A and B are shown apart, each in its own frame.
Chain A
Amino acid sequence: MSFLEIDNLDKSFGTTRILKGVTLGIEEGGFLVLVGPSGCGKSTLLNTIAGLEQITSGEIRIAGKRVNELHPSKRDIAMVFQSYALYPNMTVGENIGFGMEIRGIPKAERDKAIADVAQLLQIGHLLDRKPSQLSGGQRQRVAMGRALVRKPQVFLFDEPLSNLDAKLRIDMRTEIKRLHQRMKTTIVYVTHDQIEAMTLATKIAVLKDGILQQFGTPAEIYNNPVNMFVADFMGSPAMNLVPATIGQSGSESTVELARAGAAPVSLALNGASSALSAYRGKEVVFGIRPEALTDPDGADRNAKHLVTTDCHIEVVEPAGSDTFAVTNLGGKGVVARLRADARIKPGATAPLTFNLTKAVFFDPATQERIA
């Protein structure tokens, strides 16, 4: 049984359904990331866990106990908000201690707890300042301090890093991961940034239009997306999704990718699944991540099924650590990820290796995964 369970949760505002039958759970000490584009309902889901918004139907349980009816302050949770939500009229110390003050905890005890948290987050020297005198990163730490001091069963984070600049965001990401490893408290974390989701999570829930698309470990989500939305949303640069046809060569299935001004590329699929064989002669969407499409020297030697073919290179984008090359397949620009020193020129033809072990196929009509 999971520590935090969300069971068939529905949430409507008037006639609009924001969340549609969401069911998921996270084990104690786990790090659950809710990810999706804006308006997918991920923040609403977090708010219902916090008790800040009512649910229409379903059940939320923390440690086996139904919390639907509990006031936010009684759910034994703490929350870090996107804007940090620091009380502007109180000092940092008062901000952190406000919840304890409301609960009537004596001042001495409060000060001790505040000092402990301040030390943990290295904000001891800021305790007498007002939030307006702090930098973005410092506010972020104070907001985390206010959550930590409660020693809750579950931490809730609502896009906590989205107001920070790029560099600070990466530092704080590491910091949050380190804190989680040390405290081992269950975390639910909302973000629209799929890299944050991949790096932090033990479990990821991908949401779209209030519907849970896929729930699993980061590796499952990345390597085995259940539909085109998840495939496209997770990963940067995004997975190449190319219209293709399943063909036949002898007893073997092939995937045919159209090319402008040249014969189609035909890639043999060693031992394709029966599901895919059923699509012979039909259109599919062929999905391949940029790192599975590379120069022959850079290809994964351990991969079971590599196919190399010549492609016309349209654009080359050196990115320092890698070089990205764009070629045209199936009428779309397809991104390949090459080694940084790959010798490749725009306008020329170069061999590219497809790692077909990593390839995925979707039905163009339902957008669901075939194989």
Chain B
Amino acid sequence: MSAPSQDVATRNGVVVRALIYALLILFAVYYLLPLYVMVVNSLKPLDEIRQGNMLALPQQWTIAPWLSAWSTAQIGVSPTGLKPYFLNSVLMVVPAVAISTVLGALNGYVLTKWRFKGDNIVFGMMLLACFIPFQIVLIPSARILGLLGLAGSVPGLILIHAIYGLGFTTLFFRNYYEAFPTELVRAAQIDGASFFQIFRRILLPSSGPIIVVTVIWQFTNIWNDFLFGSSFSSVDSIPITVALNNLVNSSTGVKEYNVHFAGAILAALPTLIVYIVSGRYFVRGLMAGAVKG
């Protein structure tokens, strides 16, 4: 290749690369814009939003909307702020995640290391359960929760979330343990280890990454759930997402946009923190949820 043409090629390359960078940055702005709008406007007085520019930084900084969203804003009939609902979500998420993760790990262990006739059918049925539109179980679930005396309660929501999370947790552990060397299990059998000893001593110590992935996935999904929360909760058990929606869409009074934004960030904060702290595992969970088998 002669020198001048190479020169042209390099110059073209530079232009193309500059364009790529410009596009990538443009998209970064697109993704960040709503977050920016929420943060900036949650720190402004209401008047400034109504009259001013949504994209501008606050002229008068205030944390009043945050305080209001957390503890005094009118939600439903009572001016409690999001605090009690945030607590409801915590009380709901922690046990539901724990139960579904433990059961998923045991299921994955059995389905890969103690295979039996029909195990693939069992797994297939559990896998398919991940994808059903939950609308189809709403009516009977409400009935069952009523029969169990759990209607409108936090334990009822825990039960529902634990059950409908089982498919995914089983899928995660099953795929992880599928790649776990069966020879190790055999060696442990020859060493005389029992079913639970093999699980606890051999598999569990190597399961750190998949436990993190599963916990994050379950935490994010259950925390962000709206459908079950809005269908099966009563005044005392409303989770944060439903409360946020009530806050924003209540038809009474003035629309306090700044409080809405502060509330939205509060509702998003736990999952955002998890994402920032362990994004790698979060992405892995998404991938595992997407690429089956």
Contact at A99–B186, with CB atoms within 8 Å? no
Contact at B191–A73, with CB atoms within 8 Å? yes
Contact at A73–B184, with CB atoms within 8 Å? no
The distance from the CB of A341 to the nearest CB of chain B, in whole angstroms, is 48
Kindly state the separation between the CA atoms of A82 and B184 in the bound complex, as whole angstroms.
11
Kindly state the separation between the CA atoms of A88 and B203 in the bound complex, as whole angstroms.
10
Kindly state the separation between the CA atoms of A85 and B190 in the bound complex, as whole angstroms.
12
Q: Count CB-based A-B contacts (< 8 Å).
A: 59
Contact at B191–A82, with CB atoms within 8 Å? no
Judged by a CB distance under 8 angstroms, whether A103 is at the interface is yes
Contact at B184–A85, with CB atoms within 8 Å? yes
Kindly state the separation between the CA atoms of A82 and B181 in the bound complex, as whole angstroms.
11
Kindly state the separation between the CA atoms of A161 and B190 in the bound complex, as whole angstroms.
20
Contact check: which of B184, B190, B201, B205 meets A77 at CB < 8 Å?
B190
Q: How many residues of chain B have a CB within 8 Å of chain A?
A: 16
Q: How many residues of chain A have a CB within 8 Å of chain B?
A: 23
Judged by a CB distance under 8 angstroms, whether B183 is at the interface is yes
Judged by a CB distance under 8 angstroms, whether B234 is at the interface is no
Judged by a CB distance under 8 angstroms, whether A50 is at the interface is yes
Given contacts A88-B206, A89-B205, A89-B206, contact A79 B186 (CB under 8 A): yes
Judged by a CB distance under 8 angstroms, whether A222 is at the interface is no
Given contacts A89-B205, A89-B206, contact A82 B192 (CB under 8 A): no
The distance from the CB of B22 to the nearest CB of chain A, in whole angstroms, is 45
Q: Which residues of A contact B120 (CB under 8 A)?
A: none
Q: Which residues of B contact A82 (CB under 8 A)?
A: 183
1/0 per position for B179-212, CB-CB distance to A under 8 A? Answer: 0010110111111110001000110011000000
Kindly state the separation between the CA atoms of A103 and B191 in the bound complex, as whole angstroms.
8
Using a CB-CB cutoff of 8 Å, which residues 40-94 of chain A contact chain B? 47, 50, 52, 71-74, 77-79, 81-83, 85-89
Kindly state the separation between the CA atoms of A145 and B201 in the bound complex, as whole angstroms.
20
Closest 9 pairs (CB-CB, A-B): A73-B192, A99-B191, A89-B205, A85-B183, A85-B187, A81-B183, A102-B192, A72-B190, A72-B189
Binding site for B on A (CB under 8 A): 47, 50, 52, 71-74, 77-79, 81-83, 85-89, 98-99, 102-103, 146
